[in-house]
């Protein structure tokens, strides 16, 4: 028992329509392939689904096949320079107009944000503009607070570093002063020792004179003060002069 004749009309069920399209599309592509192989024919097949998706089959270069079709059918070639030039000029004209409209809208938007040209705005547009301005002000204030906080932290770090450097310099100055004082004391001690060593030891006769003089001298701070002979004292003075 054979199948009944299918009535050719639009299938209303979307699922059944999609299934039928897939099956018949595959069958049509298969038949085109078989025709090109069996008969050595130049076949080009283009199918667009209801959603706009394209399916194609070509036994040869599809561009060459389409050009042959245009030439045989008396249609203008797509690679005609005048046609391409007109199409390009139309495209760039449309692009130019679109850019002009975009620039005009942006300029009007900037003027509205600056509080100008508000007469053309409605209540809803004004409320939206107010919300945008509030949001912008909050963002600006947040950015300012963050920048100020960063600057304060930076200044605090610099101040701390300056204090540490100042403390280090003060320690170095005190250490230098202590070293200088020690050096001065050492120099004074060496000079006093040199002065003492400059006087020669008294002879046996001079010791007797010193002892005699000490007997008649007064005590000063609990010790005797030696009295040198005048000639000996004069020679010592000449030595220092």
pLDDT digits (tens, 9 = 90+) for 139-158: 899 999 999 999 999 999 99
What's 116's DSSP letter?
Answer: -
The CATH number assigned to the domain holding 42 equals 3.40.1810.10
Structure tokens at 65: 């096949």
**Confidence class for position 240, pLDDT limits 50, 70, 90:** very low
Q: Does 157 map to a domain?
A: no
Q: Does 132 map to a domain?
A: no
Write down which residue in 30, 57, 78 finishes a domain.
Answer: 78
Q: Does 88 map to a domain?
A: no
Check pLDDT > 50 for residue 134.
yes
Domain range enclosing 232: 202-218+225-241
Q: What is the mean pLDDT of residues 198-214?
A: 50
Write down which residue in 61, 78, 95 finishes a domain.
Answer: 78
Q: What is the mean pLDDT of residues 106-127?
A: 83
**Contact in structure between 201 and 189 (CB atoms under 8 Å):** no
Structure tokens at 81: 């320079």
Q: What is the reported pLDDT for 71?
A: 81
Write down which residue in 78, 101, 120 finishes a domain.
Answer: 78
Whether the predicted model's global pTM rises above the 0.85 cut: no
Pick the most confident of 1-10, 110-119, 127-136: 127-136
Side-chain half-sphere exposure of 15, counting CA atoms within 13 A: 0
Structure tokens at 149: 């906080």
Q: Does 37 map to a domain?
A: yes
Q: How many domains is the chain partitioned into structurally? A: 2
Q: Which helix (H) or strand (E) holds 48?
A: strand 44-48
Q: Does 163 map to a domain?
A: no
β-sheet bridge partners, residue 220: 223
In this structure, how many other beta carbons lie within 10 angstroms of the beta carbon of residue 94? 10
**Confidence class for position 95, pLDDT limits 50, 70, 90:** confident
Q: Does 118 map to a domain?
A: no
Q: Does 179 map to a domain?
A: no
As a whole number, the mean pLDDT across the chain is 76
Which one has a higher pLDDT value, 146 or 120? 146
Helices (H), the chain: 14-39, 62-73, 81-113, 123-198, 204-216, 230-240
């Amino acid at each position: 028992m054979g199948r009944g004749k299918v009535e050719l009309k639009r299938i209303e069920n979307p699922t059944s329509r999609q299934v039928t399209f897939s099956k018949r599309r595959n069958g049509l592509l298969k038949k085109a392939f078989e025709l090109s192989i069996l008969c050595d024919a130049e076949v080009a097949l283009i199918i667009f689904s209801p959603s706009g998706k394209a399916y194609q089959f070509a036994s040869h270069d599809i561009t060459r096949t389409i050009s042959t079709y245009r030439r045989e059918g008396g249609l203008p070639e797509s690679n005609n320079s005048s046609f391409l030039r007109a199409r390009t000029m139309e495209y760039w004209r449309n692009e130019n107009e679109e850019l002009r409209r975009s620039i005009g809208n942006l300029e009007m938007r900037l003027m509205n944000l600056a509080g100008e040209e508000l007469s053309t705005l409605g209540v809803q547009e004004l409320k939206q503009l107010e919300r945008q301005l509030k949001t912008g002000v909050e963002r600006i204030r947040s950015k300012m607070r963050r920048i100020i906080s960063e600057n304060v932290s930076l200044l605090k770090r610099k101040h701390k570093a300056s204090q540490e450097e100042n403390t280090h310099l003060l320690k170095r100055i005190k250490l230098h002063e202590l070293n200088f004082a020690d050096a001065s004391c050492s120099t004074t001690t060496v000079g006093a020792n040199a002065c003492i060593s400059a006087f020669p030891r008294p002879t046996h006769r001079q010791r007797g004179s010193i002892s005699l003089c000490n007997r008649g001298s007064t005590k000063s701070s609990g010790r005797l003060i030696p009295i040198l002979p005048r000639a000996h004292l004069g020679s010592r003075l000449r030595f220092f002069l």
